[in-house]
Chains A and B, each alone.
Chain A
Amino acid sequence: MTLLIMAAALGAVAVVTGIAVFVVDSMARATFLLLASFVAVAVLLLAFGLAYLGIVVVLMMTIEMMIMVVFMVMLMMNPAGLEPMTMVHNRAGSRVIALAVFVVLAAGALLVPWPTRPAAPGDPTTALGADLMGPQMLTMTVLGLALLATIVGTVALSVSPGSRR
């Protein structure tokens, strides 16, 4: 029962902060609220006993927001960006897309035959790793290394002398 109330409260926080992202008129606040929304979901995962998954959501989402901010500052230099600016454009189109995505996801959540058995014994972190990586280990490893090499190469090129105007 406590878990249910907690889940409802955290879900509400996630949804409200998620909506607020599109209401506020500052890029920085929108970023902060989006992160808050993700953190609420992460706490929900923690409450379900999925410690690894929950913490990784906090870790990855914070890093993701920071990467977003890099582009934000790079492309829209605007001291503190407090010049009011709406976070929405193409209102009609975005509404249609949002609604369609919501319907698909909600239908998926309701129609998927969720298992009713109790959780498998053992460490959920190990189970998650085995499920995600087990059959695809080689693909993941190769992709990861290729991605890393690309990033390092790009940085090496961009900081080499003469690349500036």
Chain B
Amino acid sequence: MSKNKQFVKFDNVDKSYDGKILVVKGLNLDIEEGEFVTMLGPSGSGKTTCLMMLAGFETPTHGEIYLDNNVISNIPPHKRGIGMVFQNYALFPHMTVYENLAFPLRVRKIPKDEADKKIDKALSMVSLQGFEARMPMQLSGGQQQRVAVARSLVFDPKLVLMDEPLGALDKNLRESMQYEIKHIHESIGVTVVYVTHDQTEALTMSNRIAVFNDGKVQQLSSPDDLYEKPVNSFVAEFIGENNTFNGTVSDVSESACKVKLNNGTEILANPISVKAKGDKTTVSLRPERALINPENKMDNNHKGKIKEVIYHGDHTRLRIDMLGNEQFILKIPNSSSNLDIKLGNEINIGWNAIDSRALDPK
């Protein structure tokens, strides 16, 4: 059976709450069956609104949403058969874990023995067997989260929505839950649409990530593409750490361009969204792509002054004043200690043109 490439389809969807501001603007998004897609973006970027429209709690102001090739705008939430995990878990506090899980099965009139099997399976998926009789209040945050996940999966929905489900957990628990959710997704092959503002979460878990800003999808691609090949300044800035130089294009060809920075220096860059000479641009460079005292010849070589040294355990972070940018960040692994990294020292820094991407001006 071939997988539906457009299992979920947002077709030119607009959403406005007050008739003045569009929180979602002309959204087009296709999600493949079995995929784990994350909607990532700052708060107010429209990602949760999209999720709520998909779940049926909000109606699109314009455009259609398709689920498995059917228009769902007129289907009420309880008939959509979409599992959902809420930000604050939304476990029914007056029901036991078992009753919470049984709720979607009971309303579907599934016989008790079959329901029991499903509940058992769902609970074993999140390794919570034996917790059936507990009340949600007697569970830790992580356990409640697992129950919420199990409840969203227990009725075998084809699509599960997760609205920042790990937001309330502490860091360690969040990380282990990320893997757990990822493994559940892999093992049962359900389509997941996941909303978060935490980029590490998005990068760890997703097949594809849709970066939202200002009501629009800025980029939809796999985590590595998103990090390595951001298509605009917002994505470059939002995902991971980023060094930027502002300047004007002084020369441009197919594969390379020269950017004249504001202090007069020219650097070589990879032309992504610059078209012609004279375009304003922001050049983006990942910290780990710049090397200190490079042995081989690199496309760009410049001197910088160390302004700050921050020890991070596995690596050290340097803030360097270079080419007019006082916030240039470098990461060096803590194995090579022969480098002369002392506050105020001048060091040579080099990087290749391909890694410095000339994007739209910020």
A binds B: no
* Interface, chain B (partner A; CB < 8 A): none
* Interface, chain A (partner B; CB < 8 A): none
